[in-house]
Structure 1
């Protein structure tokens, strides 16, 4: 794990966007396509806007979320809505987006349709993760009954979870699928998140803090992009 610290979020986002563009451009040069996995929430919104303002062969880039709440894509708290409104704009409007939503009775019933959508995707070029103060990442929450299944090395590509400490059923990529990437990033802003990171690094129980599985593995390069504000 490599910790990259910045004086503020503006400096972080400038450097982060530049690194991502380099990765995407290299992937396009190498194989004619790039695959980027992003996370929702407030933290990445300025980063997404910077990427959207960057000229790139976006029509060759596929974007998907690491996880989403099981909500229609136009719902206020949908991560898909956030990505469409912030990242998939201007230059990046031509990128291909793969939704983690499918209309069904519930998230669990939607999984087979979503899994089929993702089944042919190759290794990702970059995965951007976030982290909650409980150490969850994507929708792999310590409180989920489905956590062990989602953290297993032989887990399916995608699964539904029902956190007891957060609203809504969720659709999330599994740990195993998220690790099928050339580069991992953890995007953190705020001194409280640095304290959680230090707690995660100090222990080994991955079910207590699922982010540990990503921080402590050595198969995929992991960069923590951090600023205090």
Structure 2
């Protein structure tokens, strides 16, 4: 089931996403004693994470991890871990348990097995997976024409090492299987260009062409999409 939420600005959408995440995490703690969320990097999630950090939750019972990560040092400006630490894991939310997607291995391929073991130990299904979408229709680090795309779409592993066709840095990413091991999938779309890609994806076609279709064109996990004009 796919539900759209329409807003005039990304800031309004972000506030609504943060409120919805907080409610789901709170319910999960009440029901199971633990809550879990995997986050994407980029510009769009920043205001969501900043708003979420101020929410009154028992953060010590929340597990926070990533949808994908560049194989860079955690203090690099390109690191999604750095983004999460600087935005979400502040104040009360600093008590959350963070599970990184980057380790000390020389490259993503050498580090993948240890990341896979760490992720296998998480309490699946995760409560929320917050996806992003690129202008090319990629999500997580599953890129059109990526050499690891077929494996990322079919593997029963939770994670995969990948080298994007154009973007810099090797990556560690959730597979399609990992993304669909969730109770809720959230997606934020801002601006006309991404809305056009989203509409194309929703109209149907090969997942290999627009990998975001792996989330949009399935019926196992409910998907909420926040769409803003800017």
CA distance in 2, matches of 1:70, 1:166: 12
Unaligned runs of 5+ in 1: none
- Residue 12 of structure 2 corresponds to 11
- Residue 146 of structure 1 corresponds to 148
Unaligned runs of 5+ in 2: none
SS at match of 1:155: coil
CA distance in 1, matches of 2:3, 2:205: 18
CA distance in 2, matches of 1:227, 1:90: 29
CA distance in 2, matches of 1:96, 1:150: 26
- Residue 198 of structure 2 corresponds to 197
Q: CA deviation at 1:105?
A: 2.1
> 1:44-99 CA deviation, whole Å, 9 max, x = no partner?
10110000011111110000000010111111111111110011111211110000
SS at match of 1:159: strand
Q: Which runs of 4+ in 1 moved over 3 A?
A: none
- Residue 159 of structure 1 corresponds to 160
CA distance in 1, matches of 2:198, 2:146: 20
Q: How is 1:117-156 mapped onto 2 (pairs within 5 angstroms)?
A: 117-121=118-122, 122-152=124-154, 154-156=155-157
- Residue 175 of structure 2 corresponds to 174
Structure 1 length-normalised TM: 0.97
CA distance in 1, matches of 2:106, 2:39: 26
SS at match of 2:129: strand
Structure 2 length-normalised TM: 0.97
- Residue 80 of structure 2 corresponds to 79
- Matched length: 228
CA distance in 2, matches of 1:172, 1:78: 13
Is the CA contact 2:189–2:226 (under 8 Å) kept in the aligned structure 1? yes
CA distance in 1, matches of 2:98, 2:222: 25
Is the CA contact 2:128–2:183 (under 8 Å) kept in the aligned structure 1? yes
CA distance in 2, matches of 1:145, 1:88: 34
Is the CA contact 1:59–1:94 (under 8 Å) kept in the aligned structure 2? yes
